A and B are shown apart, each in its own frame.
Chain A
Amino acid sequence: MTAFDDYTHYEILDLPANATLDDIRKAYKENLSIYDIDSLSTYSLFTTLEREKILAQVESAFQILVDGEKRKAYDKLLLVSGRLSPEMLR
């Protein structure tokens, strides 16, 4: 619960599965600002370790979703596991 352990990359960035590249970049920037060490909204909520873990998850989510090939492979995994339906990708 402290980090995004059970979240998909889309959920981590708070995006729908059919998000555009522009949406992904915007959401990434927003998340970086929210979880930044100097962020007024979270500075007192997390320990350094918790914050590092969350930021690493945000980074990993972004690196996969922003890369067309990696995103396709990831979407396939989500479809197979049932965490995503084909309609959600349209």
Chain B
Amino acid sequence: MITANLGVLLARQGKRVVLVDLDLGASNLHTFIEQPDTGRGLESFLGKSVDQFSEVVMPTKIPNLFFVSSRNCLTEAANLHTAHKLKIIRAIQKLDFDYVFMDLGAGTNFNMLDFFLTSKQGFFVCTPEPTSIENSFNFIKAVYFRVIKKTLKQNTFNQVIRHLDLSGNTMDQSFRIINAVTKQDHEKGALLREKLKGFHFRFVVNQLRRNDDPSLGSKIEKVCNRHFYSKFTFLGNIRFDDKIHDSILMRKTFITNYSYTRSANDLARIARSINI
């Protein structure tokens, strides 16, 4: 919902935007932007029925907004082969748009993390519930772990973790690895820290209800900026609104049908903060 509406808002501001539905096996982004099945999507690119990725970048009814569908991908598409994943990532990196939004599903599987790591400007969404916030922290930890694993060679990684207690899912797991690497090879440790510092996580708190703490996002931002290496920016709250539910039931784009609502204003404010 958020990807679709931010895409529409940025396109309305004159930016060329493409939305890529990478929630493989569970794609539904097309419904949020009222995009009909064009018969062309990611499956055409992976199945080689088209030569270029640009051939599956389809226009939408919103000027400046383009869309890559995965609605016709196999049900098992989430378990993407590495070669296919790399093919998609390389193709996306070549896209010439002002904004490329990759809509990812929830979770911390390798494919999801690698898609997320395609950019250094990742977004995540949480709701003001402990379970959702916990998932967000788990996601950040998983991103860190993935970056470390990808940066270090397998042998080095195995050698480093051999003497470490990495049980559980504690916050300092990645930091313990980085400290151990630094002890062995100062430059490599510094490289890992620099890589993680280079990431800019942005996030929104969605479905904020009347009794929820509106400063929750700012608190999370503060904590993350203090205790992780990367930069974190809280973009704002999106207030809970039954109209969002209504728009989904009608399979209509929320922002175009309910632009007068407070939630639509929240989304517009977030879009303006991105478009700078």
Residues in A lying within 8 Å of B, measured CB to CB: 1-2, 4, 14, 34, 39-47, 50
Interface 1/0s, chain B 208-230, versus A by CB < 8 A? 00000100100110110011110
Residues in B lying within 8 Å of A, measured CB to CB: 128, 130, 133-134, 137, 168, 170-172, 175, 213, 216, 219-220, 222-223, 226-229
Interface of A is mostly: loop
Are B130 and A14 in contact, CB atoms less than 8 angstroms apart? no
What residue of chain B has the Cβ atom nearest to residue A46's Cβ?
B171
Known: A41-B223, A45-B223, A50-B172. 20 other contacts (CB 8 A): A1-B172, A1-B175, A1-B227, A2-B172, A2-B175, A2-B227, A34-B222, A34-B223, A39-B219, A40-B128, A40-B130, A40-B216, A41-B216, A41-B219, A42-B223, A44-B130, A44-B133, A45-B171, A50-B170, A50-B171
Interface of B is mostly: helix
User: A34 contacts which chain B residues (CB < 8 A)?
Assistant: 219, 222-223
The answer for the CA separation of A44 and B171 in the assembled complex, in Å, is: 9
Q: Chain A CB within 10 Å — which of B128, B134, B137 has the most?
A: B137
Report the minimal beta-carbon distance from A36 to chain B, rounded to whole angstroms. 11
Report the minimal beta-carbon distance from A25 to chain B, rounded to whole angstroms. 18
The answer for the CA separation of A66 and B111 in the assembled complex, in Å, is: 50
What residue of chain B has the Cβ atom nearest to residue A54's Cβ?
B227
